[in-house]
């Protein structure tokens, strides 16, 4: 079975991004996907900090909620990112997730 992951990058709970993301995931569910939603604003994701010591490829030195997000992204067959646009760009929540990926 295909897995669709919805990522809500809005700081507004139950706002427009939430509504639109749920509609998109409803279509995915109707076409046979299992669905899951992540709300980035409820997670603790730190900015990237390059450690002085060497690290393994694919291993993050930060131990925060991004580890859970990365695992869900790797398991997903489809990803839908919902983000408001501020000053012509994605939300800070979306940017930090993308930077950490």
How far separated are the first and last CA of the chain, in Å rounded? 25
Q: What pLDDT, on the 0 to 100 scale, is given for residue 61?
A: 66
Across the range 20-38, mean pLDDT stands at 97
**Could you confirm whether domain 3-46+64-100 is CATH 3.40.50.360?**
yes
Can you tell me which residue has the tokens 């859970």? 68
Give whole-number Cα distances, 84 to 1, 34, 36, 53, 91, in Å.
Answer: 30, 25, 20, 36, 6
CB 88 within 8 A of CB 36: no
**Res. 55: pLDDT tops 70:** no
> Cα(17)–Cα(23) distance, rounded to whole angstroms?
10
**Res. 49: pLDDT tops 90:** no
pTM over cut 0.75: yes
């Amino acid at each position: 079975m295909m897995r669709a992951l919805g990522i809500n990058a809005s700081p507004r709970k139950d706002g427009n991004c939430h509504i639109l993301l749920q509609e998109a995931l409803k279509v995915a569910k109707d076409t046979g996907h299992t669905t899951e939603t992540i709300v980035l604003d409820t997670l603790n994701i730190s900015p990237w900090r390059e450690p002085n010591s060497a690290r393994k490829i694919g291993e993050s030195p930060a131990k925060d909620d991004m580890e859970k997000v990365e695992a869900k992204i790797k398991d997903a067959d489809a990803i839908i990112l919902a983000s408001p646009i501020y000053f012509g760009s994605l939300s800070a929540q979306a940017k930090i997730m993308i930077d950490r990926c």
